[in-house]
Structure 1
Amino acid sequence: MQRAVTVRLKNARKLSTGSQRWLARQLNDPYVQQAQAQGLRSRAAFKLIQLDDKFHFLKKGARIVDLGAAPGGWTQVAVQRVDSQGIEGCVIGIDLLEIEPIAGASLIQGNFLESQTQNQLKAIMKIPVQVVLSDMASSTIGHSQTDHLRTVALAEAAFYFAKDVLVPGGTFVAKVFQGGTNQDLLLKLKRHFRQIKHVKPLASRKESSEMYVLAFGFKQ
């Protein structure tokens, strides 16, 4: 990671104090700057880069599904690492929000929690897949326990989907909040995967309570 260049705000008086703080943090965030320099759509791309650099689950020729893909940073990284513009690799991203096209990826706009959308997703996938990624998180309300439970519910929905589409030995990666995966989901993951890890990438902001659960070695 290159050294960040400090940026000073102009016309800051026109913004609220909260907006000033958010904008200053964005402008002076080294991951934001590097994402812009490398043509990546979000600083979140570096979270996936760091996870894969450590655990090496995005392999050449792999078939990947990216849940909660907008604006597309994780999808971009997956395309690059599995070489989905080649013959075998395949990356599919889905989100409630529209995602601008990404070369080498198939993109769907829809509600992943709806069975109709999941069926649409499975219909265009090359099933089974090697990796299911989920960076999904519900809108926060400022109540940490509620925010955590909502995000765990999304992680659990992603797990049930992964259980349907992963190859034996496949990998599942999902966002959770501090405190890790709740006990019920953790037990399910341990039942269906050989190894479970909880990791907070360096690219996750220190003040953020987010972390990721990684499940390796899928077994039915």
Structure 2
Amino acid sequence: MANNKALGTGGRKSDKDFKIRVKTAKGRKVASTKWLERQLNDPYVARARAEGYRSRAAFKIKEMNEKQKFFKRGSRVVDLGAAPGGWSQVAAAAVGSTDANPLVVGIDYLDMDPIPGVILFKKDFTEDDAPALLIEALGGHKVDLVMSDMAWPTTGHRATDHLRIVHLIEIAADFAIQVLAPGGAFVAKVFQGGTEHELLHMLKRHFATTFHVKPPSSRKDSAEAYLVAKGFKARPDDDEAGDSEA
């Protein structure tokens, strides 16, 4: 006879033991089926829906903020690669941004529905006039946090994809150095394979600390992580000045 105490539930499976299985429908690729199955079984997807966030990605910036304290009331924030808007939602609530006094501005080439307290632009950040547009939207004020969740669509060629994401990080970091107030912070999505040494060297000259984090809501089987740079230093006039200060 089975020992119900040993089984823990009298022989019944707990809710976490049940998993939704999705059959491959006609015309649906296997990869799409696996993605749908993963979404249906992802607790962060359910939490995002329940708490009114536009994506599970909202929890990544929330979890990072719990430890790193990025957001302070009254802080100004720029969100690069903002769609669908989860990070901007979190930022707006945390810094007290309102439609009357917007402190958060986001940009993405994808469509986004309006977010209270956030100025949103549908535009590719890599376009030459994009940085000036963001700066103008915040009235020319310096920024306390630049956050980037940007990523190119993958090609399937690992080396190419790595170079493309590093390029995005570089232009995001360059923008951050142009607009951050002293003490400000920069956070950007990266992928395993390493951040280029030149980029890290540059960030270390401009920030007090740099490190990588992988928040709990980032899927364990995902190669993504986040590069964090904190304590922005006043921008030196040239590279020689920056090296002498170090």
Partner deviation per Cα, 1:110-162 (whole Å, 9 max, x = no partner): 11111212212211114201000000011111222221211111010001111
Partner of 1:134: 148
Partner deviation per Cα, 1:30-75 (whole Å, 9 max, x = no partner): 1111111111011111110111011111111100000000000110
Give the 4+ runs in structure 1 shifted more than 3 A. Answer: 3-9, 11-16, 86-89
Partner of 1:186: 200
1:148 counterpart = 2:162: yes
Q: How much identity, in percent, do the aligned residues show?
A: 51
Amino acid at match of 2:215: P
1:104 counterpart = 2:138: no
Amino acid at match of 1:79: A
Amino acid at match of 2:218: S
RMSD (Å) for aligned C-alpha atoms = 1.8
Equivalents in 1 of 2:216, 2:54: separation in Å?
Answer: 18
Say whether the 8 Å CA contact 1:68–1:94 is kept in structure 2: yes
Equivalents in 2 of 1:60, 1:192: separation in Å?
Answer: 24
1:13 alignment partner, one of 13, 17, 25:
25
SS in 2 for 1:115: coil
2:37 alignment partner, one of 11, 20, 24:
24
Equivalents in 1 of 2:62, 2:194: separation in Å?
Answer: 21
Gaps of 5+ in 1: none
2:178 alignment partner, one of 146, 154, 164:
164
Equivalents in 1 of 2:224, 2:187: separation in Å?
Answer: 13
1:85 counterpart = 2:98: yes
Say whether the 8 Å CA contact 2:88–2:106 is kept in structure 1: yes
**TM-score, length-normalised on structure 2?**
0.83
Say whether the 8 Å CA contact 2:170–2:199 is kept in structure 1: yes
Say whether the 8 Å CA contact 1:133–1:172 is kept in structure 2: yes
Partner of 1:173: 187
Aligned residues: 217
Q: 1:86/1:72 Cα in 2 relative to 1: closer, same or farther (>3 Å)?
A: closer
Cα distance, 1:8 vs structure 2: 4.5
Q: 1:194/1:8 Cα in 2 relative to 1: closer, same or farther (>3 Å)?
A: same
Equivalents in 2 of 1:182, 1:12: separation in Å?
Answer: 40
Amino acid at match of 1:130: D
1:200 alignment partner, one of 199, 202, 214:
214
Q: 1:117/1:214 Cα in 2 relative to 1: closer, same or farther (>3 Å)?
A: same
Cα distance, 1:6 vs structure 2: 4.2
Partner of 2:243: none
**TM-score, length-normalised on structure 1?**
0.92
Amino acid at match of 1:50: E
Amino acid at match of 1:203: S
Cα distance, 1:167 vs structure 2: 0.2
Gaps of 5+ in 2: 1-14, 236-246
Partner of 2:74: 61
